[in-house]
Structure 1
Amino acid sequence: MVNQIYKQVFSFFLSVLLLQSSTVSYVRKSFDLNKPCRHFVLYLHNIAYDDDNAANATAATIVNPLGLGDYSFGRVIICDDPVTMDQNYLSKPVARAQGFYFYNKKTNFNTWVAWTLVFNSTKHKGTFTIMDANPYGMEPTRDLAIVGGTGDFLMTRGIATLKTKLSQGSKYFCLEMNIKLYECY
């Protein structure tokens, strides 16, 4: 009986020691918001599909509910947009913004964005993901979260400040993306 109790106590302490040895300590990294580890500016170009531009379209509405207000509430758009180093749509793309956005407010234009920027150029290889609300109808610039990445951007975090540079109704828009990465590996 006593031998059985020793075995249980020994097993308990051994389990605690094993758990402690496999526990990774977490140290919060401090960020200097004035000194990002990487900083660059990119331009996203979005051309909406409209029945007669299939060859040039980079985005298509996949859900378009009717009668839900004047602000496209409920509309879902899938995109594969070119990303360039300047505002010229015909410039060589350095990345593609692949993902979706949807309109999620009934009282003004507001979207929620989930884009992965896929880089495959001589300068950068890898991806990073932008996910956040984009209240473009209310703010001239909007900060969206960069929540992770791969390759040259492995596990990066930061901010993408978006500014609409050109908008031609619902057919075309160009966004300036001021990218500041604060966690780089």
Structure 2
Amino acid sequence: MVSRLTPFLGLVLCSATINQVHCDYYSKSVPSSHRKEKVTHLHFYLFDILSGKKPTAVEVAHANVTVGPKSATPFGSLYAIDDILKDGPETDSKVIGNARGLYLSSSMDNKMTLVLYVDFGFTIGKFNGSSIIVFSRNPVTESPRELAVVGGRGKFKMARGFAEVKTHYLNVTNGDAILDYKVTVFHYEEV
């Protein structure tokens, strides 16, 4: 039985090496005529709460040494966030989405700076199910400060742009903050 299969297996192996499949890692580039670039301006408030029984930002890692001034977010601290986005700065303003991601306290001086990686997801209205991605240095003590929009999902596919951020409220003791975001997003929509 094995001797009858040997020529057959030899033939299969030879044909497999002769008929190799060739595959490119890209396809032909073609102009995008079915997409139109659009500019959208967003304005919302982010509620970043580190205190109380239901914080929206929690420390998930920190450095083993203490460096720099004492603060609510010391140098080397990493926070996971699930912050609330609202259409106004008041606590009873309408919730329009959430900001989920991470920020790292990255300055050793008294000019608190964070590095932000956050997905700003919208849950109501025209942009329900869409989000913008911010990955940027955030010099918290500067006002206004500019953050980079580097991507998006849903109606914000291929987004790029910037967010101008001002601190509306900051409790320097516990780190709670309300931030005013004015975002300019360049993105594409289907035509």
Q: Mapping of 1:59-98 within 5 angstroms?
A: 59-65=57-63, 66-70=65-69, 72-98=74-100
User: Is residue 158 from structure 1 mapped to residue 161 from structure 2 by the alignment?
Assistant: yes
What TM-score results when the alignment is normalised by the length of structure 1?
Answer: 0.75
* Counterpart residue number, 1:3: none
TM-score, structure 2 as length reference: 0.73
- Cα shift readout 1:15-61 (whole Å, capped 9, x = no counterpart): 9xx97x9431689xxxxxxxx71112110001104xxx22x311111
* Distance in 1 of aligned mates of 2:102 and 2:181: 17
Aligned positions, number = 155
Q: 1:180 aligns with which of 172, 179, 184?
A: 184
After TM superposition, list the pairs within 5 Å mapping 1:28-177 onto structure 2. Answer: 37-49=39-51, 53-54=52-53, 56-65=54-63, 66-70=65-69, 72-107=74-109, 108-125=111-128, 126-137=130-141, 139-169=142-172, 170-177=174-181
Please give the per-residue CA displacement for 1:42-100, whole angstroms capped at 9, x wherever unaligned. Answer: 10001104xxx22x311111123341221611011111000011111222210100011
Deviation above 6 Å: which 4+ runs of structure 1? Answer: none
Give the distance between the partners of 1:26 and 1:153, measured in 2 at CA: 20
Residue 24 (structure 1) aligned to one of 13, 26, 29: 29
C-alpha RMSD of the superposition: 2.3
Indicate conservation of the 8 Å contact 1:157/1:184, yes or no.
no
Write the letter of the residue equivalent to 2:56. Answer: T
Which segments of 5 or more consecutive residues in structure 2 lack a partner in the other structure? Answer: 1-21, 33-37
**Counterpart AA for 2:125:** T
